[in-house]
Amino acid sequence: GQNIDQPTEMTATEGAIVQINCTYQTSGFNGLFWYQQHAGEAPTFLSYNVLDGLEEKGRFSSFLSRSKGYSYLLLKELQMKDSASYLCAVRDQGDYKLSFGAGTTVTVRA
């Protein structure tokens, strides 16, 4: 199984940077995903890491260290619309199942 931990809440100011950490303990690993979920809506895919290092996509970046069981999602130039829950998910080897953390609620203040 998977044990995935991420902070419950974070607050930041518009225009600032926020880093959401995710640590995991796994019985198998085939990639780590970050999803964004606005309240009452479906999660939408943000990023994917399977090799160590940083993946950058516009204002969002994601980092992975497999040896440390650690990832972070970096949100730059925060906008009000970035207020949402951010879910870290680890994929098992073989059967493509995802195990999700509880999510980090980010609140962006003006």
Partner 1 sequence: DGGITQSPKYLFRKEGQNVTLSCEQNLNHDAMYWYRQDPGQGLRLIYYSQIVNDFQKGDIAEGYSVSREKKESFPLTVTSAQKNPTAFYLCASCYRDRGHSSYNEQFFGPGTRLTVL
Q: Which chain residues interact with partner 1 by CB under 8 A?
A: 4, 8, 31, 33, 40-45, 48, 87, 89, 95-103
Shortest distance, position 23 Cβ to partner 1, whole Å: 14
- What is the pairing mode between strands 2-5 and 32-37? unpaired
- Reduced to 3 states (helix: H, G, I; strand: E, B; else coil), residue 81 is helix
Which of residues 8 and 67 has its CB atom nearest to partner 1 in the complex? Answer: 8
Give the strands of the sheet with 53-57, arranged side by side: 2-5, 18-26, 70-75, 60-65, 53-57
Cβ proximity to partner 1: between 59 and 97 the closer is 97
Q: How far is the CB of 75 from partner 1 (least distance, A)?
A: 19
Q: How far is the CB of 108 from partner 1 (least distance, A)?
A: 20
Whole-number minimum distance, CB 72 to partner 1, in Å?
Answer: 17
- Residue 44 exposed, middle or buried by CB count within 10 Å (0-12, 13-18, 19+): exposed
8 A C-beta contact, residue 101 and residue 87: yes
Q: In the complex with partner 1, which residue's Cβ is closer, 13 or 27?
A: 27
